[in-house]
């Protein structure tokens, strides 16, 4: 069964939902600068790029993303010949 990647690449300055924090991705440490390792600094909101909104995003006390069963995110396209 083919897998379709519908995710959006993450990059500094990519569009975000109005009012949400912007994305900042930068090198925190770098081997090229003589540091002992390459470490990236990531700063962004939880609702950035391709993601799933849990019920708790809009409903106080509702289920959060960590309580969502992963198989609910697996969708078989009806047009896929291998679909059940």
Q: List residues binding Zn ion (CB under 5 A).
A: 47, 53
Least CB distance to Zn ion at residue 79 (A): 27
Judge contact between 84 and 76, C-beta under 8 A: yes
Query: Element (H or E) spanning 24, and its range?
Result: strand 24-29
Kindly tell me which of 21 and 39 has the beta carbon lying closer to Zn ion: 21
Least CB distance to Zn ion at residue 70 (A): 18
| CA distance linking residue 44 with residue 18, whole number of Å | 13
Least CB distance to Zn ion at residue 47 (A): 3
């Amino acid at each position: 069964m083919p897998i379709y990647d519908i995710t959006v690449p993450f990059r500094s300055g990519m569009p975000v939902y109005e009012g949400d924090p912007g994305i900042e991705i930068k090198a925190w440490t770098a081997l090229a600068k003589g540091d002992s390792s390459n470490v990236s600094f990531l700063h962004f909101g939880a609702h950035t790029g391709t993601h799933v909104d849990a019920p708790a995003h809009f409903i106080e006390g509702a289920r959060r993303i960590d309580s969502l069963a992963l198989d609910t995110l697996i969708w078989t396209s009806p047009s896929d010949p291998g679909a059940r």
